[in-house]
Chains A and B, each alone.
Chain A
Amino acid sequence: MTTLITDTTTVFSRELRPLLRDPFTIIFSMVQPLVFLGLFAPLLPDNSLQWFVPGIIVMSCLFACSMTGSNLLFEIQTGSHERMLVTPLRRPALLIGRALKEIVPMFAQAALIVAVCVPFGFRFEWAGAVVGLIILAAFCIGLGALSYTLALASKNQEWMFWTVQQTLLFPLLLLAGVLLPIENGPGWLQALAKGNPLSYVVDAERSLFNGEIFTSATLYGLIAAAAVGALGLWAGVRAMRRSD
């Protein structure tokens, strides 16, 4: 019999298969942030790789999982999403499986980024990094599920998906202090950043990659990621039930 895990595996491997059959696109997208890093990192003050690399990892995962719904839009139009809704696949598995398909290649990419940065002085702790990626995965599953929900809501007007996705993604990134530290910004900006769950995830990633595991930053990051994960799954399951 099936379980949530086997269902998720079914959805995940279905999504991943076309990529594996045509791996060129995936290789190309994995190299992109390295180019970004190579052009941006020399502009940073010395020794800031330690601060910057976790942010880049978060950023690339965020870009990827916010696209979860874009593949779905096409499958809503052609009919294969409807076909999957009629199968006994558990609804959360549809959300998690699709989000994981975006996240797993990004984790491979994270490993690549770290490997490239270590010779330039980036230091990290294995245990912390693993905990960091688990927290990041929870956050990204939530965001992927929200992207899925957005695709369901904009199935008859595709432009809406892109408008909302782009409008939300950049403020979310900038207000989490991914590219530049928030501490130097004005008070209102810092207040907004405090309300952004991604800020806590980014802070947690930085301290975890440094090997500081049992800290309040980890705890807040975990809570923020779990909350976004739960919200995404709740909204996604609800939207699937109501979609007509």
Chain B
Amino acid sequence: MIETQGLTKHFKDVRAVDGIDLTVAPGELVALLGPNGAGKSTTLRMLTTLIPPTSGTARVAGFDVVRHQRQVRLRIGYIGQGNGAGHSQRGRDELISQGRAYGLGVKDARARAATLIDSLGLAEVADRRVSSLSGGQRRRLDIAMGLIHAPDLLFLDEPSTGLDPQNRANLQEHILDLRAEHETTIVLTTHYLDEADSMAERVIVIDHGRIIADDSPARLKAEHVGDRIILGFDAETEAARATTTLAAYDPAREGARLTIATQGAPRQLPGLLDDLRAAGHPAAEAEVIRPTLDDVFLKLTGRSLREGGAAETRELVEV
């Protein structure tokens, strides 16, 4: 569905996107994860024909994004960071004109608009001015606009930025439903770690305009970080003895605490506790720490996404 080779975009001296090779198969749900300014949105803007690449090529839905812009545009849906619906318009009017833009007849456009208004729960607000809608309602309207022509491939740029947790969860549900029903290929950018983690089967981590990791969330975590088991003891002497008992796991001791780096910690922990009890120095407390995508990002770049990305305001959103 998407195939890029050496996709690059320079803005003056800034290498916003620096040689991205990416293949997305039909039906995939892919999240581009990275801090603000990493090049996610710029990549998306090239794939959606909004800006031409400085070098490299991209084929989207079977067509080149530079030479066959129109063919690409006919086949994709795009939900940008802003509001697709004009603020002085009414939601239903915008949906119908969006349908007309994609070549639907007046009757079909009306019918399609009505269906989407219904399925996205916009019936009460569709005939009001867009400027009077809440942030969550506007975002749902944007989603409806992007779906008017039932595209096979949908791009979403930071879909849940600026929404409260409840609206975010609601939106994620809509996106997953859409995929389940129509097998739409979905590419979204996000700097919310939990969003990438819970929605995407494939996470592409981007930093400084390059892809630095590309795999399922579970495999990224297992490969780059792994689990940790932390065991607490009543006394340092017991902890020291436990170190010997568990030598096979290569624990690190710090006072009365042991830390074990491993894979599949939840399955190992009961056995470990049994071993310790049998050896006569049972653990007083036990904790399993599973990695997050932030740990993956930290491992790969030495920086945390939480500090550098999610907390930042929208003013820093890249060009």
- Complex interface bits, A3-25 against B, C-beta within 8 A gives 1, otherwise 0: 00011001001100110010000
Contact residues, B218-244 vs A (CB, 8 A): none
Residues of chain B contacted by A13 (CB below 8 angstroms): 97
How far is the CB of A51 from the nearest CB of chain B, in Å? 39
Residues in A with CB closer than 8 Å to B74 are 88
Report the minimal beta-carbon distance from A63 to chain B, rounded to whole angstroms.
Answer: 20
For residue B88, which residues in chain A have a CB less than 8 angstroms away from its CB? 18
**Chain A residues positioned under 8 Å from B78 (CB to CB):** 83, 86
Q: How far is the CA of A77 from the CA of B52 in the complex (A)?
A: 21
Interface string of B29-64 (1 = CB under 8 A from A): 000000000000000010011111000000000000
Q: Are the CB atoms of A82 and B319 closer together than 8 Å?
A: no
Cross-chain contact B70 with A14 (CB below 8 angstroms): no
Nearest residue (CB) in B for A90 is B70
A86–B84 CA distance with the chains assembled, in angstroms: 10
Query: With A and B bound together, what is the CA distance between A86 and B69 in angstroms?
Result: 9
Q: How far is the CA of A233 from the CA of B93 in the complex (A)?
A: 27
> In whole Å, how far is B152's beta carbon from the nearest beta carbon of chain A?
15
**What is the CB-to-nearest-CB distance from B56 to chain A, in angstroms, rounded to a whole number?**
16
Taken residue by residue from 239 to 279, chain B's Cβ proximity to chain A (1 for < 8 Å, 0 otherwise) reads as 00000000000000000000000000000000000000000
A7, A74, A79, A84 pick with most chain B CB within 10 angstroms: A79
A80→B103 contact, CB < 8 A: no
Interface size class of chain B, counting residues whose CB lies under 8 Å from the partner chain: 20 to 34
Q: Verify B103–A88 contact, CB threshold 8 A.
A: yes
Cα A6 to Cα B102 in complex, Å, equals: 11
Q: Is A78 an interface residue (CB 8 A)?
A: yes
Q: Does B291 sit within 8 A of A, measured CB to CB?
A: no
Closest B residue to A244 by CB, please name it.
B51
Shortest Cβ gap from A12 to chain B (Å) = 10
Residues of the B chain whose Cβ atoms lie less than 8 Å from the Cβ of A215 = none
Q: How far is the CA of A89 from the CA of B104 in the complex (A)?
A: 12
B49 to chain A: closest CB distance in Å? 7
Residue B82 at the chain A interface, CB threshold 8 Å: yes
Interface: B308 (CB within 8 A):
no
B90 near A: Cβ within 8 Å?
A: yes
| Contact B93 A86, beta carbon cutoff 8 Å | no
Judging by beta carbons under 8 Å apart, are B86 and A82 in contact? no
Closest chain A residue to B74, Cβ basis: A88
A3 and chain B: residue at smallest CB distance: B103
Q: How far is the CA of A164 from the CA of B145 in the complex (A)?
A: 34
Closest residue to B81 on the A side, CB-wise? A79
A75 at the A/B interface (Cβ < 8 Å)? yes
- Contact partner of A80 (CB less than 8 A), chosen from B45, B76, B85, is B85
Interface residues of A in 71-103 (CB under 8 A from B): 74-75, 77-80, 82-89
Which A residues are CB-close (under 8 A) to B73? 86-88
- A39 contacts across to B, CB distance below 8 A: none
Q: B98–A87 contact, CB under 8 A?
A: yes
Given contact pairs A10-B97, A86-B78, A241-B52, A80 touches B86 in the complex (Cβ within 8 A) = yes
Q: Provide the residues of chain A in CB contact with B103, threshold 8 Å.
A: 1-2, 88
Answer yes or no: B170 CB below 8 A from chain A CBs.
no
State which residues 88-118 of B face A: CB under 8 Å: 88-90, 93-94, 97-98, 100-103
Whether B101 and A88, one on each chain, are in contact in the complex, defined by CB atoms closer than 8 angstroms, is: yes
Q: A74-B87, A244-B51 are in contact. Are A83 and B11 (CB under 8 A)?
A: no
Query: Per a CB cutoff under 8 Å, which of B89, B102, B142 touches A87?
Result: B102
CB-based nearest A residue for B319: A244
- A10 and B101 in contact, given A17-B93, A74-B87, A79-B82 (Cβ under 8 angstroms): yes
Q: How far apart sit A83 and B148, CA to CA, in the bound complex (Å)?
A: 12
Give A2 to B101 CA distance when docked, in angstroms. Answer: 8
Digitize A45-60: 1 where CB-to-B-CB distance is under 8 Å, 0 elsewhere.
Answer: 0000000000000000
A232–B155 Cα distance when bound, in Å, is 32
Looking at the complex, which one of B70, B86, B98 makes contact with A75 (CB distance below 8 Å)? B86
Is B80 an interface residue, CB under 8 A from the partner? yes
> Given A88-B103, A244-B319, is A21 in contact with B90 using a C-beta cutoff of 8 Å?
yes
> CB within 8 Å of A: which of B162-207?
none
Output the nearest chain A residue to B76 by Cβ-Cβ distance. A86
Are A18 and B319 in contact, CB atoms less than 8 angstroms apart?
A: no
Q: Is the CB of A10 within 8 A of B319?
A: no
Interchain CB contact under 8 A, A14 and B83: no
Q: How far is the CA of A83 from the CA of B82 in the complex (A)?
A: 9
26 A–B contacts, CB within 8 A, in A order: A7-B101, A13-B97, A17-B90, A17-B97, A18-B86, A18-B89, A21-B90, A75-B86, A77-B82, A78-B86, A79-B83, A79-B84, A82-B50, A82-B80, A83-B84, A83-B145, A86-B48, A86-B49, A86-B50, A87-B73, A87-B98, A88-B70, A88-B73, A88-B101, A244-B50, A244-B51
> Other than the known A87-B102, A241-B52, what 20 A-B pairs have Cβ atoms closer than 8 Å?
A2-B101, A14-B89, A14-B94, A17-B97, A74-B87, A75-B86, A77-B82, A78-B87, A79-B81, A79-B82, A79-B83, A82-B80, A83-B85, A83-B142, A86-B73, A86-B76, A86-B78, A87-B73, A88-B74, A244-B45
Q: Which 3 A-B pairs have the closest CB atoms?
A: A79-B82, A83-B84, A86-B78
Residues of B whose CB lies within 8 Å of any CB of A are 11, 45, 48-52, 70, 73-74, 76, 78, 80-90, 93-94, 97-98, 100-103, 142, 145, 319
